[in-house]
Structure 1
Amino acid sequence: MFAIAKIGRSLSKEAYKSEVEELRTQLLEAQLALKEKNIPVYLIIAGIEGAGKGEVVNRLDEWLDARGVNVYAFWDETDEERERPRAWRFWRAMPRRGEIGVFFGAWYLHPIEEAFKGKWDDADIDQCLRGVRELERMLINDGAVIVKCWYHFSEEVQRRKLKALARSDRSRWKMLPKKSKFSEQYARFEAIADRVVRATDIGRAPWHIIEATNARYRDMTTGRTLLKAMQDALAETPHNERRLDDSPSGSNGDMLPEAPEARITLLDRVDLTQTIDREDYRTRLQTLQAELNELAWKAYKANMSTVLVFEGVDAAGKGGAIRRVTQAVDSRLREVIPIAAPTDEEKA
């Protein structure tokens, strides 16, 4: 998959200068139009070491209105982040509608690192990538535009660029956290990255493989890629009227959804006539609450979080069910979170 990024593409200074101003103007126009239409953009920057990913983002910062762009590096996890689901750190960085969020590595760096270190087997990787596809599908169904750029070049080019960086006075590069040794095992890293990219190259969030051998070509291609994605989003029907194809590229996912009246759901099969004897209820409730209390403490000791979601029609007894659960679990181990209608801040 990365062969297209080892050709040696380049862009001359003259060609770059002749195109950059027009590109910048179009990017600003598209950015303003997206803001007016409240469309959020996720720009994911990932790739091989030494490819100049930071330089790309700095260039985009010059071309775009920085007031509507936020950049997140996702370096070492904080203690607060380690206590929560892994996706929590990304949720807090989600761009508001109409803004652009630039994510270095995003949710791809962790699975690549774990596989590279040998901590994850194939099943672990596949499970993680299924979650990634589901996350991106959810964001796109909510109206987001996801642009994923992977920067790559040959092993020889990487070796040359890293040596040049090591000799330079660019202290910023030397001070960046070095969490891996990807460059020391080029072939191994490339194989893992190829698997991750192929598995997440989905219909409405494809990967754009960009050769980073030449900085001008790299930056210009990134700008054009972002511009096209923004323009395509502006030309589309509203997100609530479109359907996401979240299948990996090359698969058949063209089945049309059934009409609502033709669907049979789980709720249609629920037996609403079930009852239980009062004395039997009290006995079983006491037994189950004791078991639940014991399991809650075991989960606490195992650092395992549990989420219970209560949903249903009005007057169905959700509040009573919640009370029966909270009576069984130590108050130090639980929290009840009522979810009301979204606030203006949440809608943004």
Structure 2
Amino acid sequence: MAKSKKKDAENGQQKEKLPRKQYEQELARLQGELVKLQLWLAESKAKVVVLFEGRDAAGKGGVIKRITERVSPRVFRVVALPAPGEREKTMIFGQRYVENFPAGGEIALFDRSWYNRAGVERVMGFCTDEQYERFLSSVPKFEASLIAGGLQIIKYWFEVSQEEQTRRFEDRIRDPRKIWKLSPMDLESHHRWYDYSRARDRMFQATDTEVSPWHVVQSDDKRRARLNCISHLLAQIPYEETRREKVVLPDRQKPKGYVEPDYPWRHIPQRY
């Protein structure tokens, strides 16, 4: 059987799909580094915000899952806000995102962010032209102010090809485990590919600054995208390995007459 190949967006050549064993070994190593980052955050009280934006079905959720699966959810907090309710619609724009910013020793991973205004809200007409233009002109100042105040902001844009996005959407339609991931907005994003492309281009032009740049993740190959993104994220934060006391497992205490009770435990069925 011929090995599957992916196109390398940087040099136009074909790359073989990353072998699972190699992927899992490197992922384990990177997740070990994320644990070191977690310990450093607790000691340094640094505050980090990471934004995950991009095409629908580009793999943002998969990367976030791999970042968080071996660390504490109290340190690596995922923020995935639903559409604003009636009360939130009356708030100052961005207020509900600010409420979810990290305290010292935390990192907030935003699965979509205030950049919804530059993407889906713009394309689907959920904001006015005036609101859209005001956002593009004000957000660089907003982010620069946050960074000057001690908050580190790291922005990722996940880019996927038309062909791969179509394949992933079709996979979601066929797979009962993934159908929940397919929303009406996903279908519209597939239909309005070029509207979203124009919105992306304008967003980059206005908000890709030296102070708060966008980092693009080519994500046709999910395994490589995950490793590349996590590796890059670790390189953006000046964490150091913290010193830890050697852990010694203590002996169990003596039973001192304790006897297991004859209790009718409600065990679950042993089906596997």
Q: TM-score per shorter chain, which class? A: 0.7 to 0.9
Unpaired runs of 5+ in structure 1?
Answer: 235-348
2:148 equivalent to 1:141? yes
Aligned equivalent of 2:76, options 69, 72, 89: 69
The corresponding residue for 2:29 is 22
Structure 1 residues 6 and 175, CA gap change in structure 2 (3 angstroms)? farther
Aligned equivalent of 1:169, options 176, 182, 191: 176
- Report the Cα distance in structure 1 between the residues aligned to 2:116 and 2:186, rounded to whole angstroms: 10
Kindly indicate whether the alpha-carbon contact (under 8 Å) linking 1:152 and 1:211 is maintained by their aligned counterparts in 2.
Answer: yes
SS at match of 2:192: helix
Matching of residues 195-344 of structure 1 within 5 Å: 195-231=202-238
2:112 equivalent to 1:105? yes
2:46 equivalent to 1:39? yes
Kindly indicate whether the alpha-carbon contact (under 8 Å) linking 1:4 and 1:209 is maintained by their aligned counterparts in 2.
Answer: no
**Cα deviation, residue 177, structure 1:** 7.1
The corresponding residue for 2:157 is 150
Structure 1 residues 182 and 175, CA gap change in structure 2 (3 angstroms)? closer
> 1:283-324: per-residue Cα shift (whole Å, max 9, x none)?
xxxxxxxxxxxxxxxxxxxxxxxxxxxxxxxxxxxxxxxxxx
Structure 1 residues 183 and 175, CA gap change in structure 2 (3 angstroms)? closer
Q: What TM-score results when the alignment is normalised by the length of structure 2?
A: 0.76
The corresponding residue for 2:93 is 86
SS at match of 1:65: coil
Kindly indicate whether the alpha-carbon contact (under 8 Å) linking 2:172 and 2:178 is maintained by their aligned counterparts in 1.
Answer: no
> % of aligned pairs identical?
27
| Higher percent of residues as strand | 2
Structure 1 residues 68 and 133, CA gap change in structure 2 (3 angstroms)? same
Unpaired runs of 5+ in structure 2?
Answer: 1-7, 241-272
**Cα deviation, residue 226, structure 1:** 1.3
- Report the Cα distance in structure 1 between the residues aligned to 2:90 and 2:24, rounded to whole angstroms: 49
SS at match of 1:70: strand
> 1:50-85: per-residue Cα shift (whole Å, max 9, x none)?
112222211111143322021111221022211211
Structure 1 residues 12 and 198, CA gap change in structure 2 (3 angstroms)? farther
Q: What TM-score results when the alignment is normalised by the length of structure 1?
A: 0.60
**Cα deviation, residue 47, structure 1:** 0.6
> 1:127-156: per-residue Cα shift (whole Å, max 9, x none)?
212221122111111111111111111111
| Higher percent of residues as helix | 1
The corresponding residue for 1:312 is none
Higher relative contact order (CA 8 A, sep 6+): 2
Structure 1 residues 104 and 5, CA gap change in structure 2 (3 angstroms)? farther
> 1:180-200: per-residue Cα shift (whole Å, max 9, x none)?
711112122112112212321
Kindly indicate whether the alpha-carbon contact (under 8 Å) linking 1:150 and 1:207 is maintained by their aligned counterparts in 2.
Answer: yes
